[in-house]
């Protein structure tokens, strides 16, 4: 199904192939290893790897690692794991823009010799000021006409570490009056005395994104370099480098609209703040829109790919995607594929007074109503049970079809019971319910009356204690970072995590980390991949049962 969703880039490549203009399609996914990947990156991954799959080409994984101060090996490892988990395979080994630093340096020297680059001694502030604005042209730096010899010598000394950060940069000599500010002598190299996770202490200067990206694409034989719309204005510069350097190939940059989703931040910088401030439990907190957070929450790779297909790929900014679409994608996957189980989130003890102490019977219940390939569950029934506190009301309103004093309800897969007595503790809280069973109701309706409600339950003697974590959106407003001057943390949802000490049926006792279930009447849950070790049982709510996405 993935392969069938058309989009403008796919159509364009299709036309190129029809016209005999295309060879092998090569794309790349180029994350900067300065954070974990988020749902927006998933869109880019599905697009880039998807195109390679559809056209029998290759997609490279290339770390865009030109900013060592913000990058880390831990992010590289997490990004690789996320891409693999989503089900994609990069062609060849992992690549790094830093693999090309020697070549990029030689190309910088080439531009200097051609009179197309110069070392500038202006400070970063001065460079910004000289660059002008949208309405005002830039002014040339006094160093713009410096000789090639002098620039070559200075660049070499910058590289050798002779100067401090900010003292000099290498700039392209393009056009200080260009209406496109990106062409007003962009910076090619900056001095950074930083240790690099790949190249160690070899370099004291690092190339800019613009000077790196297109040439890396060219070196790798990338044919379609797909990026988000913010880079549209950089395309003339991308092409200028390819036109002015002896590169081995001419990749093309194509822009598409980034994913923005309501109630969700898609900025690594802001997500990092949530982690650094301890607002969430790390990058893979199940409330985070990171791929690893979604994984821990219980999303399947198929559901994320399905979501990316549903939202499509356009060139026009598509506005805000409704998070209900994402919920819909995982819910429909789990509806079809998650085994069922009973789990009581807020246990209330029920004693069945007409059931003997040692009575036990076991029901064999389908693992899934429509999947006979799933193992049957063995659900024991005994004198003492737990039901959910929400399924009992002492003074029920009309049409409360669950349990209440003197009222009957059916236990799912079992008998009809009646509540005879409410037992309270000294604080006046309900401690337990004393109920009686109508033994003539197993698999059939009771005589002469209708019992509408069905509730879930577990046998107290067999109940599996577990922690259940109920997650909600991290933010209360649709666009927490809409107002650029305000603090998006003001919009945090104080109830984004609620923890329950729950009781589950025995089939949940040995749930493997990352196994997924529908807790009947409650929602979809996933065994936490970290906490569910050493006999601990922790389940994360992935999504509720009710679908609010209007198709």
Q: Any catalytic annotation for residue 384?
A: no
Show contacts with ligand ATP in window 51-70 (CB under 6 A). Answer: 64
Q: Any catalytic annotation for residue 32?
A: yes
DSSP three-state, residue 190:
strand
**Residue 40 touches which member of ligand ATP, Mg ion, none, C-beta under 5-8 Å by kind:** ligand ATP
Strand pairing report for 117-120 and 169-172: antiparallel
Q: Which of 268, 410, 469, 529 is catalytic?
A: 268
Considering beta carbons, is residue 10 or 258 the nearer one to ligand ATP?
A: 258
**Residue 44 touches which member of ligand ATP, Mg ion, none, C-beta under 5-8 Å by kind:** ligand ATP
Show contacts with ligand ATP in window 15-54 (CB under 6 A). Answer: 30-32, 40-41, 43-44
In degrees and rounded to multiples of 5, residue 436 shows phi and psi of -125, 150
**Residue 30 touches which member of ligand ATP, Mg ion, none, C-beta under 5-8 Å by kind:** ligand ATP
Nearest approach, Cβ of residue 301 and ligand ATP (Å): 17
Nearest approach, Cβ of residue 201 and ligand ATP (Å): 24
DSSP three-state, residue 183:
helix
Nearest approach, Cβ of residue 74 and Mg ion (Å): 17
Alpha carbons 298 and 37: distance in angstroms, whole number? 17
SS3 letters across 466-528: EEEEEECCCECCCCCCCCCCCCHHHHECCCCEEEEEEEECHHHCCCCCCCEEEECCCEEEEEC
Q: Indicate which single residue of 182, 228, 244, 332 sits in contact with ligand ATP (rule: CB under 6 A).
A: 228
Considering beta carbons, is residue 32 or 281 the nearer one to ligand ATP?
A: 32
Considering beta carbons, is residue 62 or 541 the nearer one to Mg ion?
A: 62
Length of the chain: 551
Contacts of 196 (CB under 8 A, 6+ apart): 65, 68, 71, 98, 202, 203, 206
Nearest approach, Cβ of residue 109 and ligand ATP (Å): 27
**Residue 445 burial (CB count, 10 A):** 12
**Residue 264 touches which member of ligand ATP, Mg ion, none, C-beta under 5-8 Å by kind:** none
Q: Which tokens belong to 277?
A: 């401030």
Nearest approach, Cβ of residue 35 and ligand ATP (Å): 6
Nearest approach, Cβ of residue 71 and ligand ATP (Å): 10
Considering beta carbons, is residue 313 or 508 the nearer one to ligand ATP?
A: 313
**Residue 410 touches which member of ligand ATP, Mg ion, none, C-beta under 5-8 Å by kind:** none
Question: Which of 503-531 are b and which e, b meaning 16 or more Cβ less than 10 Å from the residue's Cβ?
Answer: bbbbbbeebeeebbbbbbebbbbbbbbeb
Site string for Mg ion, 24-43 (x = CB under 5 A): --------x-----------
Q: How far is CA 118 from CA 100, 168, 173, 459, in A?
A: 21, 10, 7, 79
N-terminal to C-terminal alpha carbon distance within the chain: 18
Show contacts with ligand ATP in window 121-180 (CB under 6 A). Answer: none
Q: Any catalytic annotation for residue 18?
A: no
Q: Which of 116, 258, 349, 521 is catalytic?
A: 258
**Residue 180 burial (CB count, 10 A):** 14
Considering beta carbons, is residue 258 or 418 the nearer one to ligand ATP?
A: 258
- Cα-Cα-Cα-Cα dihedral sign, residues 396, 401, 402, 405: positive
Which H or E run includes 356?
Answer: none
Alpha carbons 468 and 458: distance in angstroms, whole number? 15
Question: Which of 358-374 are b and which e, b meaning 16 or more Cβ less than 10 Å from the residue's Cβ?
Answer: eeeeeeebebbeeeeee
Nearest approach, Cβ of residue 17 and ligand ATP (Å): 23
**Residue 197 burial (CB count, 10 A):** 18
Q: Which of 16, 32, 432, 514 is catalytic?
A: 32
**Residue 227 touches which member of ligand ATP, Mg ion, none, C-beta under 5-8 Å by kind:** ligand ATP
- The count of chain residues that interact with Mg ion, using the rule CB under 5 A, is 1
Alpha carbons 105 and 103: distance in angstroms, whole number? 5
Considering beta carbons, is residue 32 or 478 the nearer one to Mg ion?
A: 32
Nearest approach, Cβ of residue 268 and Mg ion (Å): 6
Question: Backbone dihedral region of 98: left (phi > 0), alpha (psi from -120 to 50 degrees) or beta?
Answer: alpha
Count Cα atoms within 13 angstroms, Cβ side, for 500. 20
Alpha carbons 231 and 20: distance in angstroms, whole number? 28
Considering beta carbons, is residue 83 or 352 the nearer one to ligand ATP?
A: 83
Residue whose C-beta lies closest to ligand ATP: 40
**Residue 480 touches which member of Mg ion, ligand ATP, none, C-beta under 5-8 Å by kind:** none
**Residue 267 touches which member of ligand ATP, Mg ion, none, C-beta under 5-8 Å by kind:** ligand ATP
Q: Which tokens belong to 399?
A: 């049409």
Show contacts with ligand ATP in window 235-294 (CB under 6 A). Answer: 258-259, 266-268
Considering beta carbons, is residue 32 or 481 the nearer one to Mg ion?
A: 32
Considering beta carbons, is residue 32 or 167 the nearer one to Mg ion?
A: 32
Nearest approach, Cβ of residue 212 and ligand ATP (Å): 12
> Which residues does the annotation mark as catalytic?
32, 258, 268
Binding residues for Mg ion (CB under 5 A): 32
Binding residues for ligand ATP (CB under 6 A): 30-32, 40-41, 43-44, 64, 227-228, 258-259, 266-268
């Amino acid at each position: 199904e993935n392969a069938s969703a058309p989009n403008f880039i796919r159509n364009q490549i299709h036309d190129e192939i029809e016209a005999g203009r295309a060879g092998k399609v090569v794309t790349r996914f180029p994350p900067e290893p300065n954070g974990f990947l988020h749902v927006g990156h998933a869109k880019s991954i599905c697009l880039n790897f998807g195109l390679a799959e559809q056209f029998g080409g290759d997609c490279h994984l290339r770390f865009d690692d030109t900013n060592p101060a913000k990058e880390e090996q831990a992010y590289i490892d997490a990004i690789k794991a996320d891409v693999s988990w989503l089900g994609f395979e990069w062609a060849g080994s992992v690549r790094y823009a830093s693999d090309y630093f020697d070549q990029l340096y030689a190309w910088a020297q080439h531009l200097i010799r051609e009179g197309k680059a110069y070392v500038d001694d202006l400070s970063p502030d001065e460079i910004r000021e000289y660059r002008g604005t949208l309405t005002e042209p830039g002014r040339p730096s006094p160093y713009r006409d410096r000789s090639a010899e002098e620039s070559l010598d200075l660049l070499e000394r910058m590289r050798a570490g002779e100067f401090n950060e900010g003292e000099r940069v290498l700039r392209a000599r393009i056009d200080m009056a260009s209406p496109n500010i990106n062409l007003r002598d962009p910076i090619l190299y900056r001095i950074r005395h930083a240790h690099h996770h790949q190249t160690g202490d070899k370099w004291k200067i690092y190339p800019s994104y613009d000077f790196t990206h297109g040439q890396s694409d060219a070196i790798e034989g990338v044919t379609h370099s797909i990026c988000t719309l913010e880079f549209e204005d950089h395309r003339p510069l991308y092409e200028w480098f390819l036109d002015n350097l002896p590169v081995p190939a001419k990749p093309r940059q194509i822009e598409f609209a980034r994913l923005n989703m309501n109630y969700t931040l898609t900025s690594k910088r802001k997500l990092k703040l949530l982690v650094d401030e301890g607002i969430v439990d790390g990058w893979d907190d199940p409330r985070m829109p990171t791929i690893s957070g979604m994984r821990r929450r219980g999303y399947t790779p198929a559901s994320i790919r399905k979501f990316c297909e549903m939202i499509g790929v356009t060139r026009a900014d598509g506005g805000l995607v409704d998070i209900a679409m994402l919920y819909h994608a995982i819910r429909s996957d789990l509806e079809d594929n998650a085994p069922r189980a009973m789990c009581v989130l807020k246990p209330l003890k029920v004693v069945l007074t007409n059931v003997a102490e040692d009575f036990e019977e076991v029901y064999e219940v389908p693992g899934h109503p429509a999947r006979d390939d799933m193992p049957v569950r063995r659900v024991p029934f005994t004198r003492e049970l737990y039901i959910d506190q929400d399924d009992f009301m002492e003074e029920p309103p009309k049409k409360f079809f669950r349990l209440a004093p003197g009222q009957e309800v059916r236990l799912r897969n079992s008998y009809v019971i009646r509540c005879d007595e409410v037992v309270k503790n000294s604080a006046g809280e309900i401690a337990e319910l004393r109920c009686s069973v109508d033994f003539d109701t197993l698999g059939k309706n009771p005589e002469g009356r209708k019992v509408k409600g069905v509730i879930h339950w577990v046998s107290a003697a067999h109940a599996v204690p577990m922690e259940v974590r109920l997650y909600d959106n991290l933010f209360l407003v649709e666009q927490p970072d809409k107002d650029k001057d305000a603090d998006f943390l003001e919009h945090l949802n104080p109830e984004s995590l609620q923890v329950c000490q729950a009781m589950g049926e025995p089939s949940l006792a040995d749930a493997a980390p990352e196994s997924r279930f529908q807790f009947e009447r409650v929602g979809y849950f996933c065994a936490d991949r970290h906490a569910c070790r050493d006999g601990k049982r922790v389940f994360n709510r992935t999504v509720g049962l009710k679908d609010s996405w209007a198709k």
